[in-house]
Amino acid sequence: MTAEANAAIAGVLGTEPTATVLVADAHGPFRNLLPEALDRRARLVRGKPRPLGMLAGLDGSTEAVLLVGYHGRAGAGPAVLAHTMSDAVLDVRVAGRSLGEIGLNTAMAGHLGVPVELLSGDDTACDEVSELVPGVRTVAVKQAIGQSAAVTLHPEEARERLRDASARAVTRAGLRAFPGPVEVEVDLASPTTVDVGMLVPGVGRGAGGRTVTFTAADFAEAYRLVLLLVQLGTIKPA
């Protein structure tokens, strides 16, 4: 993962040598990359919880987002490690549209006026982002066979493709389809998380025993509430 992050950094800085590159470690505990092995020209955002979660460090002055090593949304398949933010969440629907972490992060970047220019992952993840952002560059480093199986490129080939695509990523499109107020439904894996979620002001029960609903003023507020529900999913019954 660190080597693929370095490939993306090299691609960007090979084209824009004066660019500032911020790398957001954004899987699991957000402490996956090897800091001492990361390209020293980049800065690393590490650890959790943190504002904007997987997009920590992003603001309106950012020129582009590259999503490296992303996964298809929960329920997609075949897809390697398909999930939506965490195993606690089964689905997130914004204005009736199902979004995984690719869609949520792409829309959050778009809310700030920042385009997602590239995504790497398996073929399912690449297809998912292409539906959201037509013309975005993708690098399929593996073809998914199942949740834990894939046909992969050689690591050197994957890094070469990622470096080349990062250097040429010029798409200026973005997902900005959710003006406020935003209606959100979240399907949660545990009924306990639903019960705890009901303690959050503005959150109500949806249909069935695993869904919560809320109305957010804008997408940024919706995104933060989804992140909170993800954290509440780590709470186990007493």
Nearby residues of 36 by Cβ (< 8 Å), 6 or more positions away: none
What DSSP line would sit under 93-106, residue for residue?
A: EETTEEE-HHHHHH
Q: What is the DSSP letter of 123?
A: H
Nearby residues of 125 by Cβ (< 8 Å), 6 or more positions away: 70, 71, 72, 79, 102, 119, 140
Give the span between the Cα atoms of 190 and 205, in whole angstroms: 13
Catalytic residues, by residue number, are 83
Pairing of strands 182-188, 211-216: antiparallel
